[in-house]
Amino acid sequence: MTSKTIYFCAGWFTDKQNQAYQATMTAIKQNPTIDVENSYVPLQHQYKNIRVDEHPEYLHDKEWATATFKGDCLGVTTTDVTLAVYIPDEEDVGMGTEIAWAKAHGKYVLLVIPDEEWGKPINLMSWGFADNAIKMSELASFNFNQPSFNFYEGAVY
């Protein structure tokens, strides 16, 4: 079976984001249609391995910011699919930018929403750029070799 590489778009700055991040990592490792080893996980590609959640002083470092941004853009353009771990009440402008960048480069965009968040209103632009939205519980068995379009069942704002 062939597998696709993903750009793993997710926040990790709040407890809710961390829980969703970890649940997603577990699910993608179980999914045989995802090539996890060759996918791009931004947290694993921070410039000079500096994580700003551990070293916030680097948020003022233009070299770190530019290199991390450029690396993430490269990650989007060199992977097959952009998988965005979307938490409706914790909208992330960075995620919105990554989703738009992916769509502009012809990438399939999948929103993965934690089951307990499913149905809550999501941002109109994220909804518009997404090709599909699924519940977290569906991720381990989602076939990335046969991507499909579907509407999100919740409202937009």
Known catalytic residue: 37? no
| Residues 6+ positions from 98 with CB-CB distance below 8 Å | 7, 9, 72, 76, 82, 84
With b for 16 or more beta-carbon neighbours within 10 A and e for fewer, the 135-152 pattern comes to: bbeebbebebeebeeeeb
The residue from 90, 98, 116, 138 that is catalytic is 98
In sequence order, what are the beta bridge partners of 4? 34
Contact 91, 123 (CB under 8 A): yes
Contact partners, residue 59, CB within 8 Å, separation at least 6: 52, 65
Give the whole-angstrom CA distance, residue 153 versus residue 7: 24
Catalytic site residues?
98
